[in-house]
Structure 1
Amino acid sequence: MSDSQREAVRQKALAEIALLDTAPEREFDALAKLAQRMLGTRMSSITLIDPERQWFKARCGPLASETPRAGAFCPVVFETEAPLTVADARLDPRFASSPFVIGAPNICYYAGVPVRVMQTGGDAVVVGTLCVLDDKPREPCASDVEVLSELACMAEALLEARMAALHAAEAAEDRRLTVEHLERERRQFKQAERMAVMGSWRYDLGLRAATWSDGIFAIHELPVSGGVPNDEIMSFFPEPDRSAFLAAVMRTLNTGLPFELDADLMTAKGNRRRVRCLAEIEVTKGRPVALMGLLQDITEQYHMEQKLRQTARTDDLTQLSNRAEFNRVLDSRLREADARNTEFAVLLIDLDGFKDVNDALGHAAGDEVLRRVADQLRAEYLSSCVPARLGGDEFAVLVPPTVGRGAIEALVQRLLHSLRIVADGPGQIASVTGTIGVAWSGGEARSRTELLRNADTALYEAKRTCKGTACTYSGASDRRTAG
C-alpha cells in the first residue's frame, strides 16, 4: 500500500469516529492529565490529525486548540505509525526550524505514541497520538514510551466505546439498552480515573533507617505517631514483589541507576493495595548516603486498567471474546504453532435463519438466540477452545492443537447439533441452525488473514452445499470437503 493509500485509510477511519471538532469530554481530559502527571511534563495532548491540521481532543499546558500539520511532531507519529521521542528538538534537524520549537510553546522534549482504532475488517488504523511535551530538554527513557503505550490502550478503548455508542444510537430500539450500558461505563470511567495518594520516603544507608512523609503512613494505614516500622518495612510487600523490590534496590545501589516498580502492598489493616515505587540514590560529596523516592497508591488506576482491558476484549451481549480479542489470540496461536511445528483449527460459524427470528419474533428474541449460541460455545466439551462473537450472527472458535484432525469431525458434528435452536413467541416459531467453515493452520495459512480467508471460503462452500452443515478447507489441493 502506498503512502497516499495509507493516508486515505487513516483519514477514513478518523472520519468514522466522528470526534473532530467535538466539545471537550472529561474522560479524554482526565487521560491527558494523567499522562502529564505520570511523566512530569508541562504539556500533554490527545491529538487527531486531519489532512491540514492537528486538532487536540484533550490538552494540558499552553497548547492551542489546533495547529497546522506542517512542522508539528504528532504528524510524524501519525505517518510512521510508530512511537517518537525527541530529547531536544532544537538540536534535531527534523524539528529545529519548526515554528512550535522556535516560537510558542517552545517545545524541546517530545514523546508520543500512536492511537489506533479497529476497523470492521479487524485491522488497527492510526487516527492520532497520545503525547507529552516540555519546554525543557529531557533524556528519553524506555518507561516514557511504555507508560504512554499503556495509556494509549485506554484512549483506544474510549474510541472503541465511542464508535460503538454512535452505531448503537443510529440503530433501532433493540440497541437502546446497549447504548445505555456503554454510557454507564463511560460515567464509571470518569469517576475512577484520577491520581492516587502519594508520599515520599528516604532511607539513610548509614543509619539503616527510613523516614516517611504523612502520605506513606496513609498508604500503609499506619498512624504517624507510631513512627516508621523500620524492622518491618519489607513485610508489607508480599512475595514475589518483596524479592523484586529488594532486587531493584540492589541494582540501584550497584549501578547508580534509579528504578520504578509496581508492586502489591498489604497495609497494616490487611488491605491489599497496588503501589508504584520510585527510587534513586542521594549522593553527598560523591558518596551515596541514602535512597530516596516516592510511593504512589495506584490501586484505583490499576483496577480500572484491568477492567477496561476486559471490557475492550469482551462482547457485551454474549460475554464471549470480541473480534479484537479473537484476532489477538489467533495471532498468538499462529506464532506458537509456527515455533512448535504444530497445527490448530479455526471454525467460522454463521447462523442460518437468524434474520427470520428477528423479523418474526423481534430483536429481543434474536438477542436471546445469540446468548443461547454463546452458551453452547461454552459447553464442557469445548472447554479447551476459545469462542468469540465476531459481530452480528457470526461466531468463531479456536480449536487447540490437542484436538487433532482425527477428532475434529466429531467435535464439529456435535457442535452442529447443538446449534439447532428453536425460538418461539406468541403464536410463532422460528428455528436457527449453524453452518461451519473449518480451516487448519500451517501450509499456506501462516497468517491470520490467510487462515480466516480459508475458513470463510469453506463456510460459504458449506452454505452453497447445504445450510446447517460443515465444510473443511483443503489448501493442498484447493478442494473443499463437506460434512
Structure 2
Amino acid sequence: MPDNQREVLRQKALAEIALLDTPPEREFDVLAKLAQRMLGTGMSSITLIAPERQWFKARCGPLAPETARAQAFCPVVVETEAPLTVADARHDPRFAESPFVTGAPNIRYYAGVPVRVQGPDGGLVTIGTLCVLDQQPREPTATDLEVLEELASVAEALIEARAVALRAAKATEEHRLTVERLERERRQFKQAERMADMGSYRYDIEKQITAWSDGVFAIHELPVSGGVPNSELMNYFPEPDRTTFVAAVLRTLDTGEPFEMDADFVTAKGNARRVRCSCEIELAKGKPVALIGLIQDITERHDLEQRLRHQARTDDLTQLANRAEFHRVLDARLREARAADGEVAVLLIDLDGFKGVNDVLGHAAGDAVLRRVADRLRASCDDGCLPARLGGDEFAVVMSADLDRVGLDRKVRRLLHDLEIVVEGHGQIARVTGTIGIAWSSAASQDRDVLLRQADSALYDAKRSRKGTAQTYQVVADHRHVS
C-alpha cells in the first residue's frame, strides 16, 4: 500500500478510537512507568502520531506533552511499522541533527515498538509506539524489545477496551436518545390523535387479532383497559356500510390495493357517528402480515357538510328544494327516463291572489301562506316526488316516475283543492289558489329546458282560461295543443 494511503488509514483509525488529546488515564500512566522501571531508562512514553505532531498519552521523565513530528524517533517506528533501537543517536545519521538530540531532552538511547489497533477494514493499523529513552547511550539487549512488545500488547488491549467502552457508551446514548425520540413521537402522535379525533389500528392476519391506539378506543367510547373487542368489531358498523367495509377489506387482502371510505358508526354507548376508515397491507419479507390503517371521527365535519349541502339546496323560507336542487333532480330523472325509455312529469305552480295577501295583510302573512303551500305540497307528494320553490310565489313538482297519467290527474285535482287557502287578519280576508301547468318529458324529447318551457306554456294557458285550474301541454300534428 502506498505511504499516503497508509497515512490516511492510520489517521482514520486514530480518529475512530478518540484517544488523541484526552486527559491522562492511570492505566496508561502505570504502563509507561512499568516500561521505564523494567528497562531502567530515564524516560518512557506511549506516543500517538498525528499528521504534524506526536502526542504522549502517557510519559515519564523530562518529556513535553507533545512535540513536532519531524526528526522525532517514534514516527519512524510508525511509518516503518517495525521496532527501532538506537544505541547512541549522536552517531545515527537519521537523528544526529535532531533537535531532540542536540537539545532537550538530549536523547541518546531509544527503543520503541509499534502500537496497533484494528482498522476500518479489519486489518491492524499502527497508530503509535510504546518506547523508552535515555540521556545516556547504551547497547540494546535482546530482551529490551521483547519487554516492550509485551507491554505494547497490554497497551493495545487497553486501547481496545477503551474503544469498546466508548462504543458501548455511544450505543447506550444513541439508544437513550432513540427511546426519548420514540417516546416524544408517541406523545406527539397521541396529541395528534386527540386533536384530529383519529386513531390507528393493526390487524394481525395470522393471529387474527386487532390492536388499537388510544384514539380508536376514544372513538368507540370504550376504556383502553378493557382491551379490543375482537369478536364484535363489525357490530359497530350498521348496514349497509358494514357489508361495504367487509367487502373493501377482502378486496384489499385479495389485490393488495388500499382503500379509504366513509361510513356510519355506532359507539359502544349507542351514539351515532360518522367515521372515515383507511386500510392497507403491511408486508414483511414481501408477504402480507397485517392490515394497518386509520379511523377518524368526522361526525362534526360530516354534519357541517350536510347542513351546508342542505342550505345550498333548500329554500330558506319554506324548507322545500330550491331552484338549483329542482334542476339537479330533474336532470337525474330525465337521464333515468332516457335509459329506461320512460317518462317524467313536471308541474309548474303559480299562486293566484298572492300579491293581494302581501298588499292587504302584509309580508308576514304572505310568508305564512308560502309556508302553508309548502306543507301542502309535501303532504301531497310521496317518496318519488320532489316539491320545490323556484322563487316568489312560483313552485314546481317533479312527479314520481311510476305515476301514470290517470294517477297524475287524480293527484293534480287533489292538489288544486289543497292550494285553496283563505287568510284572515286585521279584519281583512284574502283568498289564494294555485294554477298548474303540466308537461311530460316524452313531448320534450327528454330535454329539461324544453320540458320546462312546455310546462310554463301550459301554466299560462290555464291562467288565461281560468285561474285555479290545471292544463297539460300536448303536441298534436306538429302543433302545440293544451288541454
Bin the TM-score by the shorter chain.
0.5 to 0.7
Alpha-carbon deviations, 1:309-368, whole Å to 9, x = none?
A: 333322222222221222122122222222333323211111122112111111011111
How far, CA to CA, are the matches of 1:382 and 1:213 in structure 2? 47
Q: How does 1:196-235 map to 2 (within 5 A)?
A: 196-235=196-235
Q: Offset at 1:407?
A: 4.5
Alpha-carbon deviations, 1:186-208, whole Å to 9, x = none?
A: xxxxxxxx975001122233443
Per the alignment, residue 293 of structure 1 pairs with: 293
Q: Offset at 1:372?
A: 2.1
How far, CA to CA, are the matches of 1:378 and 1:266 in structure 2? 31
SS class of match (2:442)? coil
SS class of match (1:473)? strand
8 Å CA contact 1:265–1:273 kept in 2: the answer is yes
Amino acid at match of 1:461: D
User: Is structure 2 residue 457 aligned with structure 1 residue 457?
Assistant: yes
Q: Offset at 1:239?
A: 4.2
Amino acid at match of 1:358: N
How far, CA to CA, are the matches of 1:242 and 1:410 in structure 2? 42
RMSD of aligned residue pairs (Cα, Å): 2.6
How far, CA to CA, are the matches of 2:252 and 2:385 in structure 1? 44
How far, CA to CA, are the matches of 2:414 and 2:408 in structure 1? 10
Per the alignment, residue 482 of structure 2 pairs with: 481
Q: How does 1:100-139 map to 2 (within 5 A)?
A: none
Per the alignment, residue 255 of structure 1 pairs with: 255
Q: Offset at 1:380?
A: 4.4
8 Å CA contact 1:199–1:216 kept in 2: the answer is yes
Alpha-carbon deviations, 1:439-473, whole Å to 9, x = none?
A: 11113341111100101111122223333332221
> Residues 418 and 234 from structure 1, CA distance in 2 versus in 1: closer, same or farther, beyond 3 angstroms?
closer
8 Å CA contact 2:343–2:440 kept in 1: the answer is yes
> Residues 295 and 456 from structure 1, CA distance in 2 versus in 1: closer, same or farther, beyond 3 angstroms?
same
> Residues 409 and 274 from structure 1, CA distance in 2 versus in 1: closer, same or farther, beyond 3 angstroms?
closer
8 Å CA contact 1:471–1:480 kept in 2: the answer is no
Per the alignment, residue 419 of structure 2 pairs with: 419
8 Å CA contact 2:317–2:367 kept in 1: the answer is yes
How far, CA to CA, are the matches of 1:422 and 1:279 in structure 2? 60
8 Å CA contact 1:461–1:480 kept in 2: the answer is no
> Residues 414 and 246 from structure 1, CA distance in 2 versus in 1: closer, same or farther, beyond 3 angstroms?
closer
SS class of match (1:257)? coil
8 Å CA contact 2:337–2:446 kept in 1: the answer is no
How far, CA to CA, are the matches of 1:441 and 1:323 in structure 2? 18
8 Å CA contact 1:196–1:299 kept in 2: the answer is no
SS class of match (1:291)? strand
How far, CA to CA, are the matches of 1:426 and 1:476 in structure 2? 50
Q: Offset at 1:279?
A: 1.7
Alpha-carbon deviations, 1:226-249, whole Å to 9, x = none?
A: 333334434433444344333322
SS class of match (1:249)? helix
Alpha-carbon deviations, 1:235-265, whole Å to 9, x = none?
A: 4334443443333222222222211122333
- Matched residues, percent identical? 66
How far, CA to CA, are the matches of 1:243 and 1:416 in structure 2? 45
Q: Offset at 1:397?
A: 1.9
Alpha-carbon deviations, 1:87-140, whole Å to 9, x = none?
A: xxxxxxxxxxxxxxxxxxxxxxxxxxxxxxxxxxxxxxxxxxxxxxxxxxxxxx
* TM-score, reference length from structure 1: 0.55
How far, CA to CA, are the matches of 2:203 and 2:413 in structure 1? 66
Amino acid at match of 1:386: L
Per the alignment, residue 321 of structure 1 pairs with: 321
Amino acid at match of 1:451: L
Q: Offset at 1:268?
A: 2.8
Name stretches of at least 5 consecutive residues in structure 1 with no aligned partner. 1-193
> Residues 264 and 467 from structure 1, CA distance in 2 versus in 1: closer, same or farther, beyond 3 angstroms?
closer
How far, CA to CA, are the matches of 2:452 and 2:248 in structure 1? 45
Q: Offset at 1:382?
A: 6.4
Amino acid at match of 2:312: A
SS class of match (1:464)? helix
User: Is structure 2 residue 434 aligned with structure 1 residue 434?
Assistant: yes
How far, CA to CA, are the matches of 1:238 and 1:209 in structure 2? 22
> Residues 405 and 278 from structure 1, CA distance in 2 versus in 1: closer, same or farther, beyond 3 angstroms?
closer
Higher mean displacement: 205-214 or 354-363: 205-214
How far, CA to CA, are the matches of 1:385 and 1:230 in structure 2? 44
SS class of match (1:378)? helix
8 Å CA contact 2:320–2:374 kept in 1: the answer is yes
Aligned residues: 289
Per the alignment, residue 387 of structure 1 pairs with: 387
Higher mean displacement: 377-386 or 248-257: 377-386
> Residues 403 and 265 from structure 1, CA distance in 2 versus in 1: closer, same or farther, beyond 3 angstroms?
closer
> Residues 337 and 431 from structure 1, CA distance in 2 versus in 1: closer, same or farther, beyond 3 angstroms?
same
How far, CA to CA, are the matches of 1:357 and 1:274 in structure 2? 45
> Residues 475 and 221 from structure 1, CA distance in 2 versus in 1: closer, same or farther, beyond 3 angstroms?
same
SS class of match (2:302)? helix
> Residues 374 and 271 from structure 1, CA distance in 2 versus in 1: closer, same or farther, beyond 3 angstroms?
closer
> Residues 221 and 377 from structure 1, CA distance in 2 versus in 1: closer, same or farther, beyond 3 angstroms?
closer
Amino acid at match of 1:421: I
Q: Offset at 1:278?
A: 1.1
8 Å CA contact 1:444–1:475 kept in 2: the answer is no
Q: How does 1:169-188 map to 2 (within 5 A)?
A: none
How far, CA to CA, are the matches of 2:302 and 2:295 in structure 1? 15
User: Is structure 2 residue 338 aligned with structure 1 residue 338?
Assistant: yes
> Residues 462 and 451 from structure 1, CA distance in 2 versus in 1: closer, same or farther, beyond 3 angstroms?
same
8 Å CA contact 1:196–1:301 kept in 2: the answer is no
Task: Give 1 or 2 for the bigger CA radius of gyration.
Answer: 2
How far, CA to CA, are the matches of 1:410 and 1:217 in structure 2? 56
Amino acid at match of 1:284: A
How far, CA to CA, are the matches of 2:355 and 2:337 in structure 1? 37
Q: Offset at 1:384?
A: 5.4
Name stretches of at least 5 consecutive residues in structure 2 with no aligned partner. 1-193
Higher mean displacement: 287-296 or 354-363: 287-296
SS class of match (1:475)? strand
Q: How does 1:239-254 map to 2 (within 5 A)?
A: 239-254=239-254
SS class of match (1:307)? helix
Q: How does 1:89-100 map to 2 (within 5 A)?
A: none
SS class of match (1:274)? strand
Q: Offset at 1:300?
A: 2.0
Q: Offset at 1:381?
A: 7.5
Per the alignment, residue 311 of structure 2 pairs with: 311
* TM-score, reference length from structure 2: 0.55
